[in-house]
Amino acid sequence: MDKKALSTLIKAQALGLGFDLAGIAELGPAETAPAFEVWLAHGYAGEMSYLPRGAEKRRDTRLPYPGATSAVVVALNYGGKSPSGPIARYARGDDYHDVMWAKLDSLHRWIEVQLGQSVSGKAYVDTGPILERDLARKAGLGWFGKNTNLINPEIGSFFFIGSLLLDLDLAPDTPFEADRCGTCTRCLDACPTQALVAPRELDATRCISYITIESRGAVPEELRESLGALVYGCDICQDVCPWNVSFARELTEPALAPRAEMESPSLVDLMRMSPERWREFSRGSAVKRAKRFGFLRNVAVALGNRQSPDAVPALAGALVDEEPLVREHAEWALGKIQSR
């Protein structure tokens, strides 16, 4: 089988496994590596110390998995049509890492069966030292939007990106070259914390997703009110994007179906969450990354912003929580409610 025919079959199989987009890229130097290093130099990575550590491998997509020459790059829609809420859409179902890995591993095994031989390779989903948007654009899946997300003209930007790096000679797709954002600045205008300091330039330390997920310290006081009722992640810059308004899709992957307590949670009930209840709540979910103390910190800020007297008993109980960060933010929230 020639590489073009094999490449076509692989992409068709990827779609058959439930992925919404599939393309192939040749591995090599990452075009956006210089911009990434400038971004790091500006301090925009904040506490994400793993990003500078992996900078060398991110410069060249051949380095994360030695011997690999091609990448099958896929996208999986996570339901941009779903209503917004305190927890970002991507984190409401089962952990997307597990869902994507299972599909990519299945694709890897299928390729080996078709070729009748073992094929060296590895699946990556938001965990390896790879500039994934760079690889996805190279595989023809979309362009970098002004909100820094990869946007596809057919499905918008509410999707996960995954890559299967292979020691296999495949026919690469044509990179996506067009910039279809035009003069639109809706994402920049809508960001509550002004984290988008310029088109395609994100100061992660001001981003609500970073603050509620990656940061392990106190939420900066000057940004707390801007978080509104968001407790894990943020979809605002995607919600306002015209490409999502027109082309976001309903969720089709059952494993990503939102759990009831994630889709429309009671913030007061969440504030009362014990360590045992947290383990049950976060099991098999992406929200586990925030850890209990970070998640309840966020919930306290959200309750303070709502200024509802109904939250007082739960926040008062949090004043004796085992975690200092939870106690600090519960005290702030009570002050906000009292000021009302």
Instruction: Note the helical H segments in the chain.
Output: 3-16, 33-41, 50-53, 55-58, 96-115, 132-138, 186-190, 208-209, 221-224, 236-239, 242-247, 260-263, 267-271, 275-282, 291-306, 312-318, 324-339
- With beta carbons less than 8 A apart as the criterion, state whether 243 and 178 touch: no
Among 11, 122, 28, which Cα is nearest to 75's? 11
Q: How many whole angstroms separate alpha carbon 326 and alpha carbon 296?
A: 6
Q: How many whole angstroms separate alpha carbon 79 and alpha carbon 170?
A: 31
Q: How many whole angstroms separate alpha carbon 71 and alpha carbon 167?
A: 9
Q: How many whole angstroms separate alpha carbon 336 and alpha carbon 71?
A: 51
Residue 98's contacts (CB-CB under 8 Å, 6 or more residues apart) are 255, 284
Whole-Å CA distances, 1 to 79, 116, 126: 37, 12, 32
* Rg of the chain on CA atoms, in Å: 21
Q: How many whole angstroms separate alpha carbon 260 and alpha carbon 201?
A: 35
| Longest CA pairwise span in the chain (Å) | 72
Active-site choice (105, 126, 167, 239):
126
Catalytic (active site) residue 179: no
Q: Which residues belong to the active site? A: 126
